[in-house]
């Protein structure tokens, strides 16, 4: 059975995931005590079945995990109806599509500034890091501006986020657990301070609006508001950073696909974004818990048992995707589920798409001859799959 922490698997999980898809039904993983849904139909069903809930299990002891626990239990991601419905409705009123679409000029401005800085590094050093210098700071700056975080505090946000999301891996180390507890406490207290300031002196930022938004007499309480802000920062950039990085590396390693981006990036941007998310999914595994005995794909998940939707495997399912092992930036029929499905479909998906639709063509319009300067370095994680660094330089075209 799969060892999710094995270095070879983390580097390239897709051969092992393909073997899982050879089974006609989801497979039981004895070591983890969880069902694995590898086929597209089953992974998709897991996400859409109402009796398979996103149930957060608090970590013990409560005295050490207090903030970490309620940052999850009071968030949209780890709650189910009716609480989930109430939270999503309230947050949706503030985090609306019109508000997201209005961010496009600011995203373009920020991307341009980052590309200016990258160009200076190219001129001085001959290369820059596509993650640290472009893919990572852009969505962090966007979500920080949206929430109204001061510019001078931006450097705090990504380390807090990365420490917390390491807990989503299959077997987080003791060191990772300690870092997550510290980050949860510091992040929660930071947002609490901002929230109190905005309640006293409201602005046009999202924290101010979340503090005042109301529907049918319902408002977000303090913990829910803090948990929402932390979730928006964490989820609001992880998919963008990792989806962008994974996709760019895959494209630059295949000259025929890179050429599409070099020649006319805007012509393929929309299909390229979906193909980036399909080919090397930034989120590989999403757990659900059965609230009652539930049939999925020919097996019964007993009440209390967990089942994982393997998104990266589903997106390589040969019964759904033609030439599934090939990157095709012009792929039209692409029902990838990289942003999830059902009631927990990613709330930040429209923002992530907007960021990618701006940052991808701007990169290749500025640097059409961009290529890998050396082998990129993978993050040593499976659930949240991405790169630590992607050194790039300019070549000949």
The residues, any chain, with a CB within 8 Å of residue 386's CB and separated by 6 or more, are: 131, 238, 241, 242, 245, 246, 282, 378, 379
For residue 92, what is the domain's CATH number?
Answer: 1.10.630.10
Domain assignment of residue 246, given as a range: 7-24+31-52+62-378+389-394
Give the model's pLDDT for residue 396: 76
pLDDT band for position 41 (cuts 50, 70, 90)? very high
In a domain, 351, yes or no: yes
In a domain, 317, yes or no: yes
DSSP secondary structure of 104-118 = HHHHHHHHHHHHHHH
Q: How many CA atoms lie within 13 A of 16 on its CB side?
A: 17
pLDDT tens-digit profile of 162-204? 899 889 888 889 999 999 999 999 999 999 999 999 988 998 8
How many domains in the chain?
A: 1
In a domain, 1, yes or no: no
In a domain, 267, yes or no: yes
In a domain, 16, yes or no: yes
The answer on pLDDT for 216 being more than 70 is no
In a domain, 348, yes or no: yes
Give the model's pLDDT for residue 304: 96
In a domain, 383, yes or no: no
Average pLDDT for 45-49: 97
The residues, any chain, with a CB within 8 Å of residue 367's CB and separated by 6 or more, are: 115, 118, 119, 122, 392, 394
Give the model's pLDDT for residue 397: 66
In a domain, 2, yes or no: no
pLDDT tens-digit profile of 230-275? 888 887 677 889 999 999 999 999 999 999 999 999 999 999 999 9
């Amino acid at each position: 059975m799969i060892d999710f922490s094995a270095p070879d698997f983390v580097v390239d999980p897709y051969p092992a995931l393909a073997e899982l898809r050879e089974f006609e039904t989801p497979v039981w993983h004895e070591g983890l005590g969880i069902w694995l849904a590898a086929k597209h139909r089953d992974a998709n069903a897991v996400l859409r079945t109402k009796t398979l809930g996103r149930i957060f299990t608090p970590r013990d002891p409560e005295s050490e995990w207090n903030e970490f626990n309620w940052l999850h239990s009071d968030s949209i991601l780890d709650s189910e109806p009716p609480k989930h419905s109430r939270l999503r409705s309230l947050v949706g009123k503030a985090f609306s599509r019109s508000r997201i679409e209005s961010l496009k000029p600011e995203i373009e401005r920020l991307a341009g500034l980052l590309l200016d800085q990258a160009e200076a590094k190219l001129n001085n050093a001959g290369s820059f890091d596509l993650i640290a210098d472009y893919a990572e700071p852009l969505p962090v700056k966007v979500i920080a501006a949206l929430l109204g975080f001061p510019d001078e505090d931006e450097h705090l946000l990504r380390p807090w986020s990365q420490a917390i999301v390491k807990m989503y891996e299959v077997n987080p180390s003791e060191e990772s657990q300690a870092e997550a507890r510290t980050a949860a406490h510091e992040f929660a207290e930071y947002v609490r301070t901002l929230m109190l300031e905005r309640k006293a002196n409201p602005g046009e930022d999202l924290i101010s609006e979340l503090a005042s938004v109301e529907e049918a007499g319902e408002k977000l309480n303090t913990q829910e508001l803090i948990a929402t802000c932390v979730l928006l920062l964490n989820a609001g950039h992880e998919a963008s950073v990792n989806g962008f990085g994974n996709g760019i590396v895959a494209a630059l390693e295949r000259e025929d696909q890179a050429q599409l981006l070099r020649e006319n990036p805007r012509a393929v941007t929309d299909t390229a974004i979906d193909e980036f998310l399909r080919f090397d999914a930034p989120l590989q595994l999403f757990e659900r818990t059965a609230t009652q005995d539930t049939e999925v794909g020919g097996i019964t998940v007993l009440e209390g048992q967990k089942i994982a939707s393997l998104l990266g495997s589903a997106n390589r399912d040969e019964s759904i995707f033609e030439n599934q092992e090939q990157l095709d930036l012009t792929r039209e029929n692409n029902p990838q589920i990289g942003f999830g499905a059902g009631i927990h479909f990613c709330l930040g998906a429209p923002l992530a798409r907007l960021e990618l639709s701006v940052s991808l063509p701007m990169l290749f319009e500025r640097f059409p001859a961009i290529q890998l300067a050396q082998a990129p370095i993978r993050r040593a994680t499976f659930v949240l799959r991405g790169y630590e660094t992607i050194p790039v330089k300019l070549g000949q075209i």
